[in-house]
Chains A and B, each alone.
Chain A
Amino acid sequence: MDDRVILRVGAKILIPFIMIFGLYVHFHGDYGPGGGFQAGVIFAAAFVLYALIFGLGNAIQVLPPKAAYICAAMGVVIYLGVGFLGIILGGQFMDYSVLAYSYTGQHYGIIGVELGVVTTVFGVMVALFYAFAGRRRVDS
């Protein structure tokens, strides 16, 4: 892919913006459309773009498949962890009102679960991509 200068330069310019946009979508989810799910997909898209342009080998050096897999599992743990925190602090499962006073608790809870969602979705999307892209074609 060394000769595809336009693609390489274009991707290099785009990727940071895609990631910033992912952050924006994640943290702006309270105010406008977006949230953890969409942000996770956008982050993953940045990595997929990187892998498509610079090759799977380079992408794997940036983010090994193992790390993506750990992200996928950790997100679920984070999400459920927020739920368990509700029980530990004396409320119901997934109860945010006990996390802090009034709607601050709601904010903490939502930030917590959105973090879980973004981690899982990002990890899953990248892991799926690696799983498909990492296979070599087997001709029968």
Chain B
Amino acid sequence: MSEHLPALLVVVPLILAPVAALSNRPRAAFAAAFAGCWWALYASLALLTRVRSEGVISYALGGWAPPYGIELRLDLVNAFVAVTVATIGAVVIPYAWTSVKKEITEDRIPLFYTAFLLMLSGLLGITVTGDVFNVFVFLEISSLSAYSMIALGQDRRALTATFQYLIMGSVGATFIVIGIGFMYVMTGTLNMADLAERLPAVMDNRTIPVAFTFLTVGITLKLALFPLHLWLPNAYTYAPSAVTAFMASTATKVSVYLLLRFFFTIFGFAFAFGQMRLNMVLMPLSLVAILAMSLVAIYEINVKRLLAFSSVAQIGYMVLGISFGSVLGVTAGLLHIFNHALMKGALFMAMGCVMYRVGSVQLSKMAGLGKKMPWTMAAFVGGGLSLIGVPLTVGFISKWYLVQAALEQGNWLVAGLVMIGSLMALVYIWKVVEVAYFQEADSDVEIREAPLSLLIPTWVLVIASFWFGIDASTTAQVATDAAELLLRGGS
């Protein structure tokens, strides 16, 4: 049984999706989604443990040896990302039960959980596969299900947001498949390890740099790197609360992983950073993302939207780490995938609690919430501290590595700009804190604390974001080993 875990990690949630659809009852569909998410958490943790002790796991689907068949290939990098995705799934799903009952009409709930399972298995499928075309297939599953879930948001503008995301996302996916096709033309293979072996011989050809360009643009569209982030703010703002929490912590992270996988494992460090001078593009863009998007976040008056812009800035941190092209930098990027998933998940879930009771996340509606919903707002402050990068939080760990990576290359300017980004995060988090704690509420509206079924998952993430901030030895160790693996070009 345990040797089949790489496949079962993906296909158990996948088969539960049609089961949830067939059950056609909210409770049964929820049970299926719950089982799928927790199964994924168990399987991904078991796989990470195994990868840490035994090294790379390769699973030949259908018994066909790669590159003739499709291979699932787990190393420290994607096992780590799979654990991140599964953790968020497992925490969001109990939260979704209560939150979704309010925000989505009952007749859509079974299909909502079906879409949720499809998205989860799509993201996990992208993460664990060792085949580039397979990446595209699962990317389609996760994207299509994400589009449909965003459209269920209770604001009408969720529909336009989805449409925008649908168009941009499809362009991104098309670019990725063009890149894959060009690589196939020049190598005759789709297997990642095989591609890494065969690409160097044809690198001088025009086709491979073009493939690289298409893949880079396609993936950065999916991960919402400035200036290709335009779909993200609206999608995150208008999606149902549980969907925003899940998507913000997983979808873009998996795209960051794809970027790492394509740059380091498939094309190789020398090609991506030497020949194509990728860092010359990524570093300025990520710095602009950090500063400009944090600035926009400061002026936002819808807190979900504020957090969405903050997400674009935080993605900037991840890409910035990668653009250093050093072990420390990539470690920072990988750590921030996990750390940002924890804190942003917590923050968006806290906003889901506010939505549940107040029906809005406009800043103006949040006056006095610090007293009326103390636990919710405390969770928001906890996640906010992490976002700022206060010591003893996960945010600090990421920034610590990032600044170290910058200083290692003597790049004081970048280190300084990272600090400025943190200060800007302080400003926009403080803006919310000020309204919630220091402004008087409208006394005539009665608002109670959010139910425990929402608070417990939220607090699990808040506590985790402190836990892994105080004792970062495990995550930092895994991330460092994974970064070394990537830079060695191995897989």
Contact = CB atoms under 8 A, between A and B. Distances in A.
Interface of A: 69-70, 72-74, 76-77, 80-81, 83-84, 86-87, 91-97
Contact of A92 (B4, B17, B19): B4
A62 B7 CA distance: 39
A94 B6 CA distance: 13
Contacts of A81: 15
Contacts of B61: 92-94
A74 B22 CA distance: 8
B57 to A, nearest CB: 13
Interface of B: 4, 7-8, 11, 14-15, 17-19, 21-22, 59-63
Given A80-B11, A87-B4, A94 B62 contact: yes
A106 to B, nearest CB: 10
Given A92-B62, A92-B63, A93-B8, A73 B18 contact: yes
Contacts, number: 53
Contacts of A94: 7, 61-62
Contacts of B15: 76-77, 80-81, 84
A37 B17 CA distance: 20
Contact of A86 (B17, B22, B62): B62
Contacts of A95: 62-63
Contacts of A72: 18, 21
A91 B14 CA distance: 20
Nearest to A77: B18
B125 to A, nearest CB: 12
A94 B70 CA distance: 11
Interface of B is mostly: helix
Nearest to B20: A73
Interface of A is mostly: helix
Given A76-B14, A92-B62, A94-B61, 9 more contacts: A77-B15, A80-B11, A80-B14, A81-B15, A83-B7, A86-B62, A93-B11, A93-B62, A97-B63
A46 to B, nearest CB: 24
A96 B62 CA distance: 7
Contacts of A91: 63
A93 B7 contact: yes
B63 A83 contact: no
24 contacts: A69-B21, A72-B18, A76-B14, A76-B17, A76-B18, A77-B15, A77-B19, A80-B15, A83-B7, A83-B11, A84-B11, A86-B62, A87-B4, A87-B7, A91-B63, A92-B4, A92-B60, A92-B63, A93-B11, A93-B62, A94-B7, A94-B61, A94-B62, A97-B63
A130 to B, nearest CB: 15
A87 B18 CA distance: 20
A22 B227 CA distance: 47
A112 to B, nearest CB: 13
A74 B17 CA distance: 11
B59 A92 contact: yes
Contacts of B14: 76, 80
A111 to B, nearest CB: 15
A95 B18 CA distance: 22
B453 to A, nearest CB: 28
Nearest to B4: A87
A94 B71 CA distance: 12
